[in-house]
Structure formats: structure tokens, C-alpha cells
Structure 1
Amino acid sequence: MTLYDALVAPFAEFEFMRRALIGVFALSLGAGPLGVLLMLRRMSLTGDAMSHAILPGAAIGFLFAGLNLYAMSLGGLIAGLLVAVGAGVVARATELKEDASMAAFYLISLALGVLIVSLRGSNVDLLHVLFGTVLGIDDATLLLIAGITTLTLFTLALIWRPLVMDCVDPVFLASVSRAGGPCHIAFLALVVLNLVGGFHALGTLLAVGLMMLPAATSRFFVRDLTALVALSTVIAFCSGAAGLLLSYHMGTPSGPSIVLVAGIAYGLAVIFGPAGGVLSRLLPRRHLEA
């Protein structure tokens, strides 16, 4: 097998592979900056919880309209926003911390969503909802993902400075501006939107993987925020492309293959990463080097 046959031929010869690659590219553009911001805000597990939170809404959309793109997307969006707001309200109205409140909501959402799908659908439908069908992306799904990515990048451009300040020094931001609260709400809405888009390609259980693993990987190579966002986006896209090729040649499920490749990149970064990796911390540093 030549290098062309291994890397280029699957995308050149099959339209479904090209569609999947474009979908992964669009998802990566939105997931890259959002994953970095979630990591900086110490909300990585919140992203995972919210990816599960969209399941009951998508399941209700499936219950009424089957595997309809717009019904499941709207249901997932509403459910994700309700869980995010509900967890925040419980955390502020009771003594329960926000992480525990979010964990409770997402476990309930996951169980409810699986139950709803199981009541009407088959095991194939359940697997579709949980793990996605990135190789089955159609034009409507591509347009939805592209629209979500465009909205994400445009919104981030508008709120980038207060959003970053809220990550770095929320007390200072609160003392000079009231933009922290609205920016936080807008940020959570963008996370939910991108998880809804990722849900159609990778499913609810894997949608957050393309968002968080590249962000965590890039942290072992660069420190600057702009570089973190750029590298995270590149790693997400490369993981997607490599995962699609692995799925094509090995016959493995495409969604898990993409996330597994991103996980392998993360494992290598943990060991060999120059910015805080295991080996870099074991090697002797220069005199007076921090």
C-alpha cells in the first residue's frame, strides 16, 4: 500500500469520507477555542456533563419525529440549556456545590434519555444517539454544523476579551464591568450548541472528546492563549482525519476511533510534552530556570 492509498485515496474516492472530513473540520473550528476556555475555567467536567444533558431532549425529539435532524437538535439544545440553568439555580439556592449539582443533573439526564430512546427505538437507534454516525453526515447536518461553528466564532470574537478576563481574574472583571455574567451565559450557550452539533457526528457520549482532549494536549506544548487555541484546533482536526482513516482501514467505529486518536495524542503529550510533560519535569533544568 502506497502513502497515497493510505492517506489520500479514501477521501478522493468516497464522498462520504469527504463529508465526514468537512464535518470534523467544522467541529474542530468551534471546539478548539471552547475546549481551551473550558480548561482555563476549570470546567472540563462541566463540558462532559452538558454533553450528557442534551440526551433527553434529543431523545424526545426522536420520540416524536424519529431520526429527524432539526427535532433532535432543538430538543438537545433546550435540554442542555435547561440543565445548565437548573444546575446553576440549585447551586445558588442550596448548599450544594455547582459541580455536585451538575453531576446529579447529568446522571438523571443520561438515564432519562436512554430510557426514552429504548421505549420506542431499537438498539441501532440507541447506538446512533450515543455514538453518532460521522460517516453518515448529509448536507443538512453539514449546514447545521457549519452554521453553529460560524455563530460560535462570531460570538467569541465579540465577547473574547471579557470572557478571557473572566477566566483569569473574575474579581477584577466584576469590579470594572458587569459583562461577566452575560458572557458566562453566552459561553455556556455556545458550549451546548457545539455539543449539539457534535452529537450528530460523534454522539452524546463522545461529542465532548473532540472538545477537551485536544485542549488538554495543547497545554503540554504551549502556554500562550492564542497558541493554545490554534494548536487545539489543529490537533482536533488532525485527530478527526486520522480517526477517519483508522476507521476506514481497520473497520472500527468512526466516532470512537476519532476520540481514541485524540486520546493517544494526549497520552504522548503527557509523556513527551515540553511544557510540563513527565520527561521535561524529570530532566535537569538550567541554573535559575523556573
Structure 2
Amino acid sequence: MRHALLGCVALALGAAPVGVFLLLRRMSLTGDAMAHAILPGAAVGYLVSGLSLTAMTLGGIAAGLLVAVGSGLVARHTVLREDSSLAAFYLLSLASGVLIVSVKGNSVDLLHVLFGTVLALDNDALLLLGGITLVTLLGLRALYRPLVIESLDPGFLRGMSVWSAIAHHGFLVLVVLNLVAGFHALGTLLAVGLMVLPAAAARLWVTRILPLMALSVALALGASVAGLLISFHADWPTSPVIVLCLGLVYAVSMLAAPEGLWRHSRPGHSHLRA
């Protein structure tokens, strides 16, 4: 439980801020697609070295970057848009990964890959999650200004600076790294939950970007702790309970937040501010 808590802290500190920019850049479903896309790489790593942390991590990163770059190239050089090409890539990736694990492994291994084992995190896994969190925070610090500008007005940055391409591809690398980190704890099917749900809930409460990032981290931490405690006392699987707690936070925010369903009617809408 202590290792699981430390792992969730590391994931919340890294994945939740990345989820904020996924939300602001309208890429939430892209994050979900890329979470599935890392599966074949992790499956190949499992095929080569078993449940090896290093092999599955490197395989997942390689597969995620391959899908991100491949879908971008298809979108640039064909009539397909990036969402269509990404959907095709992630469906093929998901099917390939499930097939590899199913043929070469067993049902327990498949469940481990798809849904994670947050209660089985060891010291090596915690070091990996902590390292990815540190890289993520440093990367967001370096890319913060272009990411904010591109979130609010992508056309302006694209026409005025080379930072648009650097920010876009750098951000995709951070997404893949955090999805791989989440994969070890929550599995490929639920890893994106710790990115998207806290950011979506926080956006209903605040409009400034830095407070939005801080609140998303706080919500992710709170839901993770609640999920761990509930799963421990109820003897339920931990990963889905954590995501369901995040979903409950989102549902409460939808009802009670100033920007939720029950907000007072007023002219205009509030805008995000840096």
C-alpha cells in the first residue's frame, strides 16, 4: 500500500498537468488512443523478457512514439485527418498487443497488461515513475509558454515561431512517457484516466491555467488515496476503483462547480487566462 501510494503521488504530479494541456488543446481522445497504442510495444517487451520493467517500458515508449509520428505523417501526406489516422493506428496497435499477450502469455498476464497492478509496484517501478515525473515537470517548465499560446491560439504560434512544432512534438513525448508510467500502475486501458478526469473536473472550478494545473494534481491525489483505501477495505481491484473515484469527482464537479450544470445564468462565458 505504501508503494502504491507513492506511485500514485508520482503519477498525479506528472500526468495531471499533462492532462490539463490535453484538455486545453482538445486532445483528450488523442491521449486515450495513444494509451492503447503503447500496448504492442509493451507486449513485445513482455514476449522478449517476461514481466521486465525495462523491456516493457522501452517497448511502450517506442510503440507510442511510432504511432504518434506515423499518424502525423499520414495526416500530412494523405487526405486523412490526424484523428482518422490516429484511430486506425491505435486500433491496429491494440489488436496486435492483445494478440501477442494472449498467444504467448496467459489470462493473468493479459489482465496485468490491460488493467495494471498498482499494488505490485516495487522500488524499481517507483524510481521509473519518479524519473518520468521529474522529466515531465522539467519539460512542462521549458515548454510552458508555447504550450499556453498554442492552447489559446494555435494559428498565431504556428505562423510566428518555430516553437509550435517543438512544443507539439515535445508535448507528445511527455504524453507517451506518462502513459507508459501509468501503464505500469493502472494498465493500458485505464492509464489515461489519471490524465483526463482530474483536468476535466478542475476546469469546471477554475479558469486560470496555473491554478487549473494545481487543482488537477490535488484532485488526482485525493481520488488516488480514496481509491486505494476503498479497494483495500472492500477487497476490490485497485485500478478501476481509483478511476471510478476520479469519475465521482468529475460528476460532483459537473453538478456543483461554478462552470457546471447548475451555474447561475449570466451573459458570456469565462475565458481561460494564463
Shorter-chain TM-score: what band?
over 0.9
- Superimposed CA distance per residue, residues 127-158 of structure 1 (whole angstroms, 9 cap, x where no aligned partner): 00000000010000000000000001011111
- Whole-Å separation in 2 of the counterparts to 1:215 and 1:33: 8
**Secondary structure of residue in 1 paired with 2:207:** coil
Q: What is aligned with 2:30?
A: 46
Segment of structure 1 superposing worse, 57-66 or 96-105: 96-105
Which among 228, 237, 243 is matched to residue 227 of structure 2?
243
Distance in 2 between residues matched to 1:49 and 1:91, nearest whole Å: 16
Confirm or deny that 1:64 pairs with 2:48: yes
Matched, 1:181 2:181: no
Alignment of 1:98-177 (within 5 A): 98-177=82-161
1:277 equivalenced with 2:222 (yes/no): no
Report what 1:5 is aligned to: none
Quick one: which amino acid aligns to residue 262 of structure 2? L
Q: Mapping of 1:247-258 within 5 angstroms?
A: 247-258=231-242
Letter in 2 for 1:238: G
Aligned mates of 2:171, 2:178 — CA distance in 1: 11
Which blocks of at least 5 consecutive residues in structure 2 are unaligned?
270-274
Residue type of the alignment partner of 1:112: S
Aligned-pair CA distance for 1:284:
5.0
1:259 aligns with 2:243: yes
2:76 to 85, 88, 92: 92
Aligned to 2:21: 37
Q: TM-score, normalised by structure 1?
A: 0.91
SS in 2 for 1:279: coil
How far apart are the structure 2 equivalents of 1:111 and 1:154? 34
Q: How many residues align?
A: 269
Which residue of the partner structure matches residue 252 of structure 2? 268
Partner Cα separation in structure 1 for residue 251 and residue 245 of structure 2:
10
SS of 1:199's equivalent in the other structure is helix
Q: Which has the larger radius of gyration?
A: 1
Deviation at 1:51, TM superposition (A): 0.3
1:83-107 Cα offsets, whole Å, 9 max, x none, are 0001111111111111111111111
Equivalent position of 1:217 in the other structure: 201
How many angstroms does 1:62 deviate by?
A: 0.3
Residue 76 in structure 1 maps to residue 60 in structure 2: yes
CA distance in 2, matches of 1:241, 1:64: 34
AA matched with 1:271? L
What amino acid maps onto 1:175 in structure 2? Answer: G
Identity of aligned residues (%): 58
- Distance in structure 2 (CA, Å) of the matches to 1:174 and 1:204: 32
Structure 1, 74-83 or 167-176: larger mean CA deviation: 167-176
Runs (4+) off by over 2 Å: none
Please report how far the alpha carbon of residue 78 of structure 1 lies from its aligned counterpart in structure 2 after TM superposition: 0.1
- Look up the equivalent residue of 2:43 and give its one-letter code: A
Distance in 2 (alpha carbons) for counterparts of 1:246 and 1:101: 39
Which string of whole-angstrom CA distances, capped at 9 and with x for unpartnered residues, describes residues 209-251 of structure 1?
A: 0110000000110111111100001101111111001100111
Query: What's the counterpart of residue 203 of structure 1?
Result: 187
Other structure's SS at 2:93 match: helix
Match of 1:7 in 2: none
Distance in 1 of aligned mates of 2:211 and 2:94: 35
TM-score, normalised to structure 2, is 0.96
- The one-letter code of the counterpart of 1:278 is L
CA distance in 1, matches of 2:190, 2:83: 20
Residue aligned with 1:207, SS: coil
Amino acid at match of 1:41: R
Query: How far does residue 120 in structure 1 lie from its aligned partner after superposition?
Result: 1.0
| Deviation of the 1:176 alpha carbon | 2.7
